[in-house]
Structure 1
Amino acid sequence: MGGILETERHLVVYYGQGFLLKGLALQLQERYEEAISCVQEYAELGWFKFRDELAEMEIEKFRGWAKANHYTLNLLMGRTELLSEYVNHLANNPPEILAGMFTIMETANRFGLSVDDVLERFSKDIACFQDYEDPFSLTRHLHFRYHIAIYQLHKGRIAEGIAETLRCLALASRMKEQEKFQSCVAMFWKYRHSASDQQINDFQNILEGRKK
């Protein structure tokens, strides 16, 4: 029996996803150059044979993901001159803002950038991050809160930094993310003498809730 292999989804999806997931794994290991090579593999899949309308839609999705991930990896590698271009890209692609802000805050902390203007530009979107409930978005939200807490503390905005630390701590507790939970506890403890009575009370309540 000849012909095309029958699968639930077009073969282009399986091919693209393989490189997408490999690239994400390499990114987590900070092997950015190798991750970029993976991005290039799914950036342009128009060479696939037997394409139908559904396949073309999938190819376009991978093209969009490749563009976003290319920005992400280059920023994390220190190509900070791409930041304003990436911010404009996010403004034109609102569903990417959560993941993008995580990248931007991590980049800002790593390379000592000031991104106050970016935080202001996307302030309404950031206020909606708490509405996300799917696992991927929750994880990105957690990492965003962690990095913005560090950012505010390094900027000397201690009250805001502590507030963000508590938001991250509460989210980590809810998600049972032990590593981030412990990091936030340590961060709060470092700045505890600058915390307000309400912040100390909130901290204790989160810890008590964790024990239940």
Structure 2
Amino acid sequence: MEKLTTIREQLEEHLRKHGMTINRFADLSGVNSGTLSNILNGNRPISMQQLDRITSGMGLPDGYFYDLYIDECIFHATPDWRRLGPFLLRCAELDKLDCLDRAIRMTMDNVAYAPMLFDMAETLFQEGKNEAAAILYQCVAESEKFQHSERLALCQYRLFMLSLSEDQEANLQAAVSFEPYIDRLDEGYQLDAYVKLINVNLSLNRWNKVKNLAEKMLQQAMVLYKYNKSSSPTKTKEHKKPLVFYILYAYLSIENYYSEEMDFEKALHYVSLYHEPDWIIEKNEEEREILEQFKEWAVANRYLYRLMAGDVDVLPEYVDYVAERESEIFTAVCNIMIVANLHKLDVDHILDRFGNYLTYKEQKYHIAKASNQVTLSRFTKLLSELGIYYLNSSRFEKGIEYILESLKSCIAINSSNGMLRCMGIFEQFRHLATDEAQRQYKNLVSEVQKLNDKKIGLSISYL
């Protein structure tokens, strides 16, 4: 039997097989009988609404004819946005992303569609249909002729945001791909883009990049803040947060760089810049809340740098301070374990007190939710620091257990540096590991090898 290759042929066969008249099918489907007759005679293109009604009238699942519709009404016909637009939205609604991608790529020679595809991507992005939006952004970016256009930059920014995940290697690639476009973004998006880039690089421990991005954000935010104070409010751009947030966050980020460099004098200098800034005048309620949050961070970080520098007597004050501020406890415990291992401190009593905070969970502050990438990175580091702490105090079984948990977490987020660190520590104490721990380690190493094979592209045998 000859294969039925068009929607019209399949509709004709359905009517013949069921002995159904056009009028009867019109009643079932809700499509006008005259319209159906014109469609069957090839005198009228099928609209999206008509296609869905015909599909339903034939008792077929939603989207059944979409592949054929692409060939008949998009590829072999002059594309018409009145048909194409609703079709793309319906594909996104039904999660038929392969059809969405095919249809777009067949029409991208017509650059006139780029603005409409971009607007549709923005709509889908706002509705949380991220995969469909990403396909549209990618196609618009590829077709954009004006390489310095704001639309291209915004497409790249959306793609960057949508591609962020728990995978650190993928996040690195996303950050590297997006960064060249940040200066081309519209002013209203630029500062938030800097914050997101800083957070990704912070989670990857790319401290030089953190400092570089923070300095650029600081310069831009300062210029805008001074301009806004001397301009009419109607002439200024809206930002997601008040400008003071970006300035203070830049100080905090640069401080983190100097902290990692163990230059506590410079780190404390930047703490002083966001502790109680006196250049902010006529504060509104949102700005006051931001200032209060940064003040809390400043006090906590002053305690931390005294600890890091060897003033261990301040530890009880630090613990009591964060204990009254639940949103600060997780970060403080991470820092305390680093200090404990650095100065060989006994912090069992602190671990007992904050035992509920030794598990991964989303971190929220008064003014925002912490970056998921940063939280995951900190949690993985916390597990390894706990392992080192227990190994240093000769509690080998517990220490090795935490090192294996850290290795498992490193594999989950694809952190190469973290995996190497954990494997190095385990090998150092392998002779003290139980048979069960060694079995777990062997299985985890196999997972590491699989990840490495994916990066290489293929496994090479030397035998």
With normalisation by structure 1, the TM-score equals 0.92
- Report the Cα distance in structure 2 between the residues aligned to 1:87 and 1:66, rounded to whole angstroms: 15
Over residues 82-111 of structure 1, what are the superposed CA-to-partner deviations in whole Å (9 max), with x where a residue is unaligned?
A: 101111122111221221111111111111
Q: Residue 67 of structure 1 aligns with which residue?
A: 299
Contact 1:76–1:103, Cα closer than 8 Å, also in 2: no
- Report the Cα distance in structure 2 between the residues aligned to 1:55 and 1:2, rounded to whole angstroms: 19
Question: SS where residue 20 of structure 1 aligns?
Answer: helix
Q: Residue 361 of structure 2 aligns with which residue?
A: 131
Question: Alpha carbons of 1:7 and 1:65: their partners in 2 closer, same or farther (altered >3 Å)?
Answer: farther
1:7 CA drift (Å):
4.4
Answer yes or no: is 1:173 the counterpart of 2:422: no
- Report the Cα distance in structure 2 between the residues aligned to 1:2 and 1:85, rounded to whole angstroms: 45
Give the one of 132, 137, 142 matched to 2:380: 142
1:6 CA drift (Å):
4.2
1:27 CA drift (Å):
0.9
1:54 CA drift (Å):
1.2
Gaps of 5+ in 2: 1-229, 364-371, 451-463
- Report the Cα distance in structure 1 between the residues aligned to 2:414 and 2:245, rounded to whole angstroms: 32
Contact 1:165–1:188, Cα closer than 8 Å, also in 2: yes
Give the one of 17, 35, 38 matched to 2:249: 17
Over residues 156-176 of structure 1, what are the superposed CA-to-partner deviations in whole Å (9 max), with x where a residue is unaligned?
A: 111111111101111111122
Question: SS where residue 273 of structure 2 aligns?
Answer: helix
- Report the Cα distance in structure 1 between the residues aligned to 2:275 and 2:403, rounded to whole angstroms: 37
1:47 CA drift (Å):
4.0
- Report the Cα distance in structure 2 between the residues aligned to 1:155 and 1:33, rounded to whole angstroms: 31
- Report the Cα distance in structure 2 between the residues aligned to 1:146 and 1:19, rounded to whole angstroms: 28
Give the one of 416, 419, 431 matched to 1:193: 431
- Report the Cα distance in structure 1 between the residues aligned to 2:331 and 2:306, rounded to whole angstroms: 15
Contact 1:132–1:138, Cα closer than 8 Å, also in 2: no
The letter of the residue matching 2:373 is P
- Report the Cα distance in structure 2 between the residues aligned to 1:20 and 1:125, rounded to whole angstroms: 24
Contact 1:19–1:38, Cα closer than 8 Å, also in 2: yes
Contact 1:102–1:144, Cα closer than 8 Å, also in 2: yes
CA-atom RMSD, angstroms?
1.8
- Report the Cα distance in structure 2 between the residues aligned to 1:163 and 1:150, rounded to whole angstroms: 10
Answer yes or no: is 1:28 the counterpart of 2:287: no
The letter of the residue matching 1:184 is C
Question: Alpha carbons of 1:195 and 1:48: their partners in 2 closer, same or farther (altered >3 Å)?
Answer: same
Over residues 101-147 of structure 1, what are the superposed CA-to-partner deviations in whole Å (9 max), with x where a residue is unaligned?
A: 11111111111111111111111221xx2334911111111111111
The letter of the residue matching 1:108 is A
Q: Residue 3 of structure 2 aligns with which residue?
A: none
Over 6 Å off, 4+ runs: none
1:10 CA drift (Å):
2.1
The letter of the residue matching 1:162 is I
Structure of greater relative contact order (alpha carbons < 8 Å, 6+ residues apart): 1
Task: Tell me which protein shows more helix as a share of its residues.
Answer: 1
Contact 1:12–1:45, Cα closer than 8 Å, also in 2: no
Question: Alpha carbons of 1:13 and 1:103: their partners in 2 closer, same or farther (altered >3 Å)?
Answer: same
Give the one of 32, 37, 45 matched to 2:277: 45
- Report the Cα distance in structure 1 between the residues aligned to 2:263 and 2:238, rounded to whole angstroms: 32
Q: Residue 106 of structure 1 aligns with which residue?
A: 338
